[in-house]
Amino acid sequence: MVIFTGGCGMSGKVFRGVAVAATLVFSAATAQNASAQSSKLNIVGTVNLYQLISGAGGNLVVDFVPPQGGGIGTISTVFPTTGNTGAFTSVAPATLGTNIDFVFGPNATPPATTTPVPFLSIGGYQFTALNFGPGNVGGTPVNVTQVGNTVFATLNVSGFVTGPGFTTGAKQFTGAYSTQFPNQTIGSVVNQIQNNPCTTPTTPRCGIGNVSVSATFVTSAVPEPATVALMGTGLLAMFGAVRRRRSEV
């Protein structure tokens, strides 16, 4: 058995150098944990789902409407509690925001939403979508599944968010809007949307109206550039110390 000690001599110097390098890496990891925490934002809202023309030739419109109880926003954080974490804890319960209407589908009417697109503004944060989906309904990014007598619909989105608390100016995020249709089948939901079109975007009670949706957005915990550089410095110091010790043995 060989026992290494940190005493005098070249071996001690080498291992003291390794200890310093290890301290640098540990400090970098600590900085990473402090500055690269993921953040979670929860929101709720109500949408109308419809097409402007009937049949398979129309695109799906997801029309966000003001929260129940009024207000100027089209979406809000959860009330009375949010469950928000990280930077998003600054967004108080029932904070109103705006969410653009989405249009999805491979057809021309109405024109589909294209990315990149700023789609959500709330509590000082601006979310920009780079990608929607994947989906499984008529060329849209909406994913629909049937569980028992309930239809579950999900719209996945990813991109970047800017706002207070993000020292690099922007953070990557992934998120998902979700809703459910009890006592329905996938076919009946699609039928109600496709065969009950709106003659204009403002016509009420066409398609499926007043659908409650919820959404959660989570930022990715990626190291800040300074943290990555500091960790690299520590690793190089450790590597150099080991190489010098091997050459001197």
Which string of DSSP letters, residue by residue, matches 5-25? ---SSHHHHHHHHHHHHHHHH
Residues 153 and 123 placed together within one structural domain of the fold: yes
Residues 144 and 165 placed together within one structural domain of the fold: yes
Residues 74 and 29 placed together within one structural domain of the fold: no
Q: What is the distance in angstroms between the CA of the first residue and the CA of the last residue of the chain?
A: 18
pLDDT at 174: 98
Residue type, position 107, single letter: N
In a domain, 2, yes or no: no
pLDDT at 201: 60
pLDDT at 28: 32
Please name which of 233, 221, 173 lies closest in space to residue 34, comparing C-alpha atoms: 221
Task: Output the CA–CA distances (angstroms, integers) from residue 203 to 50, 61, 104, 143, 208, in the order listed.
Answer: 10, 12, 19, 26, 12
pLDDT at 222: 57
Residues 213 and 235 placed together within one structural domain of the fold: no
In a domain, 96, yes or no: yes
Dihedral angle over CA of 45, 143, 117, 192, nearest 10: -60
Task: Compute the distance between CA of residue 153 and CA of residue 192 in angstroms, rounded to an integer.
Answer: 15
Please name which of 211, 175, 159, 207 lies closest in space to residue 50, comparing C-alpha atoms: 207
Residues 134 and 240 placed together within one structural domain of the fold: no
**Which residues constitute the domain of residue 159?**
38-222
For residue 47, the SS3 value is strand
pLDDT at 75: 86
In a domain, 101, yes or no: yes
Residues 135 and 58 placed together within one structural domain of the fold: yes
Residue 117, token pair as written in the block: 């697109």
| Structural Rg of the chain based on CA atoms | 26
Residues 67 and 139 placed together within one structural domain of the fold: yes
Residues 141 and 232 placed together within one structural domain of the fold: no
Strand 208-219 and strand 171-182: pairing? antiparallel
Task: Compute the distance between CA of residue 180 and CA of residue 152 in angstroms, rounded to an integer.
Answer: 4
Residues 156 and 71 placed together within one structural domain of the fold: yes
Name the helix (H) or strand (E) containing 235.
helix 225-248
pLDDT at 156: 98
Dihedral angle over CA of 221, 225, 226, 231, nearest 10: 70
Distance of CA 170 to the CA centre of its chain: 12
The total number of structural domains that make up the chain: 2
What does the pLDDT look like over 41-82, one tens digit per residue? 999 999 999 999 988 889 999 999 876 666 666 788 888 888
Residues 27 and 142 placed together within one structural domain of the fold: no
In a domain, 77, yes or no: yes
Residues 149 and 234 placed together within one structural domain of the fold: no
In a domain, 157, yes or no: yes
pLDDT at 66: 77
Residues 29 and 93 placed together within one structural domain of the fold: no
Task: Compute the distance between CA of residue 242 and CA of residue 235 in angstroms, rounded to an integer.
Answer: 11
pTM of the predicted model as reported, rounded to 2 decimal places: 0.74
Name the helix (H) or strand (E) containing 246.
helix 225-248
pLDDT at 39: 95
Low-confidence ranges of the chain (pLDDT < 70): 1-36, 67-73, 200-205, 222-249
- DSSP secondary structure letter of residue 162: E
In a domain, 134, yes or no: yes
